[in-house]
Amino acid sequence: MKSSVLLTAPVNPTLKNMTIPMMFGLVMLMSFNLVDTFYVSLLGTESLAAFSFTFPVTFTLISLAIGLGIGVSAVVAKTLGQKNKELAKQHASVALIISAVSIYTIAMFGLISLNHIFGAMGSTPEHIVVIKQYMTPWLFGCLFIIMPMIGNSVMRASGDTKTPAKVMGLGALLNAILDPIFIFGFGPIEAMGIAGAAIASIIASAVSCILVFYRLTATYNLLGWGYQFSQIVDSSKQILTIALPAAASNMMTPISSSIVISMVAVYGSEAVAAFGVGSRIESFAVIVILALSMSLPPFISQNFGAGQFDRVKQAYFSSVKFVIAWQLAIYLVLIAISSWLGGLFADDPKVADIIITYLMIVPVAHGLAGITILTNSSLNALHKPMISVGLNITRLFVLLLPLAYIGSMLGDINGLLVGVAVAACLSGAIAFFVMVQQLNKFPSQNQSDDKISATEETA
């Protein structure tokens, strides 16, 4: 999709055409987690519990990548909206270098701190032994997993959501094929257990990485070299002004999740295993929200850069209405199949029961949680990352953690889940109010046209 389409085509059909490819791509991408979880579950409850502990940590690095992707997408999309292709190319190139250096530095720090990190989360020494088998290869190969996310953000900034979707789909397919081979062994390949899940993901992601960089270079000509130091500094400032707050905001989620996991760990390995499964199913259930949160920002950024504020408002409000209706339908589906899902991912009846309870309680808040996600992505697209940070602090540390703790004190694991759902509802309502206040600051298109006419008459 050419960037000019984002500025001229009807709003709702354009968002639909951008979101549908992303949705299918994310369905395949999310299957990474679900496929990994399914095969690891076959190794037993203890392996599944250990695997569940890894999610907040791996998602921390992924959140950093998402934040950096948000920064480059917002800057590149706005620059393209201003019809400056060369500057957009400069921003994209610098962003990839920044991302690689920062992500791998944090990954290596995490590698030498695994005992402290997972010990603080409440994992047992036995769990940590298994966790290391997964995390060690994952951290060494994390650039292959994460860099395609940054490259895909650049392509989405130009209005192309189909290519990122295809890349994610191919990576997920390869992962699904390789997982059982490396986990359980096949032919000359010996069984590697939980470590095999990490190796399969790295190999599949490496193929995606090659395709993304080829596409950015050969098709879009959005990667270049030989920039002057002053250009690198200028691009870094513009990208990091949005990327750092966005990354910090995104990384709050896995940090808070690790605290919630430590609360859940009090109830035993079964509860941790079930919570991990529920979280992954939940990620799959909000796939449309996530897809829309990826297609909405480039649309908003380009129209924001072009001064077309009415299109920005229409895009946001249409997205909110759709998400509320869609997630209500998804919740009804989850209720209907919750027993089947519980049995699919767990042989232990206690684990299955907690999974079912999770799916009965937490997804009821997905509609309002979706408003929070869309609002945060929209605020970053409007180059207002600090407001997004404030909303995330409120969502996670003012609402989620206190309400989850209070719920656990009043009603054990079920009360904790209720606290999580209530926090999501309240944060969604707050996010919508804040976004409306920000959009009301923009002039209507008629007002903008009047200002332009007045300027021309004065000239």
- Judge contact between 215 and 163, C-beta under 8 A: yes
Per-residue confidence (pLDDT) for residue 454, from 0 to 100: 44
Domain boundaries, the chain: 3-453
In the numeric block, the tokens 């089947």 are attached to: 340
Written in H, E and C, the secondary structure of the chain is CCHHHHHHCCHHHHHHHHHHHHHHHHHHHHHHHHHHHHHHHCCCHHHHHHHHHHHHHHHHHHHHHHHHHHHHHHHHHHHHHCCCHHHHHHHHHHHHHHHHHHHHHHHHHHHCCHHHHHHHCCCCHHHHHHHHHHHHHHHHCHHHHHHHHHHHHHHHHCCCCHHHHHHHHHHHHHHHHHHHHHHHCECCECCCCHHHHHHHHHHHHHHHHHHHHHHHHHHCCCCCCCCCHHHHHHHHHHHHHHHHHHHHHHHHHHHHHHHHHHHHHCCCHHHHHHHHHHHHHHHHHCHHHHHHHHHHHHHHHHHHHCCCHHHHHHHHHHHHHHHHHHHHHHHHHHHHHHHHHHHHHCCCHHHHHHHHHHHHHHHHHHHHHHHHHHHHHHHHHCCCHHHHHHHHHHHHHHHHHHHHHHHHHHHHHHHHHHHHHHHHHHHHHHHHHHHHHHHCCCCCHHHHHHHHHHHHHHC
pLDDT score for 30: 65
For residues 317 and 310, what is the distance between their CA atoms, to the nearest angstrom?
11
Of 338, 352, 205, 362, nearest in space to 283 by CA: 362
Q: What is the pLDDT of residue 410?
A: 92
Q: What's the pLDDT score for residue 446?
A: 53
Binned average pLDDT, 10 residues per bin, the chain of 459 residues: 68 83 69 76 82 79 79 83 84 87 89 87 84 92 87 82 81 88 90 90 91 87 83 87 80 79 86 84 84 84 86 93 94 92 84 91 93 92 89 93 93 92 96 95 62 41
At residue 25, the pLDDT reads 66
The answer to whether the beta carbons of residues 171 and 164 sit under 8 Å apart is no
Strand partners, 189: 186
The structure tokens listed for 363 are: 């997804």
| pLDDT (0 to 100) of residue 66 | 76
pTM (whole model) above 0.85: no
In 3D space, the residue among 302, 338, 273, 319 whose CA is nearest the CA of residue 431 turns out to be 319
